[in-house]
Amino acid sequence: MIELSAVSKTYRSLVRRRTVRALEDLTLSIARGEVFGIAGPNGAGKSTLISLLVGFLHPTSGSVRVGGLVPRAWVERHGVSYLTELVALPPRWTVEQALRRLATLAGLGDGARPRIERAVEMLGLEEHRAKQVRQLSKGNLQRLGIAQALLDDSDLVILDEPTHGLDPVYTQRFRDIVAELRRPERTILIASHNLDELERLTDRVAILGRGRLQRIVGGAADETHAGSAVYRLVVAGNPVMGSAFPGVPVEGRRGEYRLEGELATLNAAVAGLISSGVVITAFYPEESRLEVEFRRAMEAKE
């Protein structure tokens, strides 16, 4: 669905003659049906990459193709369900009007009304319909941004920092929405600083750093943990751990422990604890795989 080949993007300031390399030699392929994440610190090039995919920017070198076409041609034929990082709509539009106008531009015709109603209901915007955009709080503006993106029934969904400013209720609602959006013919791209969110929602995550692709990490579908890692073990009561973990450094006390070792070794030890009557209430990696990979990518970059 999306093919980027040796893509670089450099911003040039005409006045000060400064140049900023936002993306450098990026090669990436995203399949139809995939939910793909983009992670990276501020200034990593995430928003530039998205602007290239929607055709709002042209690459300085390399090629970008969406469905085999240059992005603008694809967008002008099919449209994109797109949420910008900073939701920008004319301030005097009301919520209702914004959705009706953008549905008109999406060419929804008679199908606009039910889609607007559904988007309003999903994002809890009923009581804000008559409010002007300028009267909305940050969170409500973000919900309007998601609602307008959901109007289109496009095969390409691009969401830039979708949960920025959302409260926990709508953060969870957003996760449900992404699950509903998943379809074999639809590609979903989510750019976020929130690694936990990306790990929950995506199949793969590209980690960008200083404009370069640092690595691609498997998301929820790839849970293999190779090598030694740090885990947290929480048990009921305060049992004597004794030699339950031979050769494994165990830190902590009063039922909560930090262990470092191979997952297979630790699993066997935990099984031994269970058979000896210890009640395990939690056993989980201290850092998710994505967090580990992100940290390693940033350390390698420095």
Partner 1 sequence: MITRIPLGYSHWELRDAVRGPGLILLAVAVLVGFILTRMPSSQAFTTEDVVRAIADQSLFPLVLVVSAGLVSRDLGEGYYRAYFSRPVSPPLFYLQRWLVGGVLLMLYIPMLAAAASIRTGDLQVPLWIAGRAALLYLLVGGTVLFFSTLVRRDWVLGAGFYILESILHAIQSQGGGLSGIARAVYAVLPPYHAAAIDGSPSQGDIWGAAAYGACIVLAALAVLHWRALGSGGRA
Interacting residue ranges for partner 1, rule: CB under 8 A: 11, 22, 45-51, 54-58, 75-82, 84-86, 88-90, 101-102, 104-107, 109, 148, 152, 158
> 82 or 294, CB closer to partner 1?
82
Torsion of CA 287, 291, 294, 299, to 10 degrees: -30
What separation, in Å, do the N-terminal and C-terminal C-alpha atoms of the chain show?
Answer: 33
CA angle 10, 71, 180 (to 5 degrees): 115
> 58 or 113, CB closer to partner 1?
58
Whole-angstrom distance, CA of residue 160 vs CA of residue 243: 49
> 49 or 244, CB closer to partner 1?
49
- Buried-exposed string 221-242: b where 16+ CB fall within 10 A, e elsewhere: eeeeeeeebebebebeeeeebe
Q: Smallest gap, in angstroms, from Cβ of residue 175 to partner 1?
A: 22
Residues in the chain: 302
> 76 or 167, CB closer to partner 1?
76
> 18 or 254, CB closer to partner 1?
18
User: Radius of gyration over alpha carbons of the chain, in Å?
Assistant: 23
Q: Smallest gap, in angstroms, from Cβ of residue 90 to partner 1?
A: 6
Q: Smallest gap, in angstroms, from Cβ of residue 135 to partner 1?
A: 17
> 136 or 266, CB closer to partner 1?
136
Q: Smallest gap, in angstroms, from Cβ of residue 286 to partner 1?
A: 33
- Half-sphere exposure (CA, 13 Å, Cβ side) for 64? 26
